[in-house]
Amino acid sequence: MAHPVLSVDSRENIQKKAQVHLLPCRIHHDGNVNPVETYWSPSENEDNTKTAYLRGRKLQGKAVKLPEGYYGSVAEKSAPKKPERSQEEMVEDLEIIEDPNDQLEVGAMQGKATFDEFVVWNHETLANSSEDPYLRGMEEWISFAGQIHSYPSVKDSRK
């Protein structure tokens, strides 16, 4: 069976802003932690970097702004479900697909909050884009997306 396709349902503009932190560790906990300040209280340094301690380990962080025209979204996944389609579309598909149970599952994701910057944390030193796979991946992906979604200029089309 194929992997489900995910669609993001934002319904309305999400007003809630999230503070996003990319930590170099795994935390095996899924749920609320109250008060969070007991475990996580970063301090801002004079050079706009951040310092925090998590379970005795010193972490250095820096805020990374998303490029103009981009925003991040925090979404929550719901259970996959079959796409709602008309009887006519299903009859057309039955001609193509021999097994009607082999239809594509669509999982909905509900948008919860947005962000325009996130903090990348690293052990003892600041993360940089030449070494950090998340920063490098974001920069490369945005550059690649810009190239495949752009139109050639008049100069390019004359070649």
- For the chain, the structural domain boundaries read 5-148
The rounded distance, in Å, linking the Cα atoms of 80 and 60 is 38
CA distances from 70 to 39, 74, 116, 134, 137 (A): 31, 14, 7, 16, 15
Mean pLDDT over residues 116-126, rounded?
Answer: 90
Mean pLDDT over residues 114-122, rounded?
Answer: 92
Are 84 and 105 spatial neighbours (Cβ–Cβ below 8 Å)? no
Query: Which of 3.40.50.150, 3.30.43.10, 2.40.128.680, 2.40.128.20 is the CATH number of 5-148?
Result: 2.40.128.680
For residue range 76-108, list pLDDT tens digits in order. Answer: 877 655 556 665 665 555 555 555 555 666 677
Beta-sheet pairing, 117-123 with 72-81: unpaired
Query: Is the confidence at residue 57, as pLDDT, over 60?
Result: yes
Angle at 42 between CA 39 and CA 48, to 5 degrees: 170
Of 84 and 113, more confident: 113
* Tokens describing residue 131: 């070494």
Are 8 and 111 spatial neighbours (Cβ–Cβ below 8 Å)? yes
Query: Is the confidence at residue 66, as pLDDT, over 60?
Result: yes
Task: Report pLDDT for 43.
Answer: 93
* Tokens describing residue 118: 């996130």
Mean pLDDT over residues 47-62, rounded?
Answer: 90
Task: Report pLDDT for 74.
Answer: 87
Task: Report pLDDT for 69.
Answer: 84
User: DSSP 3-state assignment of 78?
Assistant: strand
For the chain, the average pLDDT equals 78
pTM of the model: 0.68
The rounded distance, in Å, linking the Cα atoms of 26 and 18 is 20
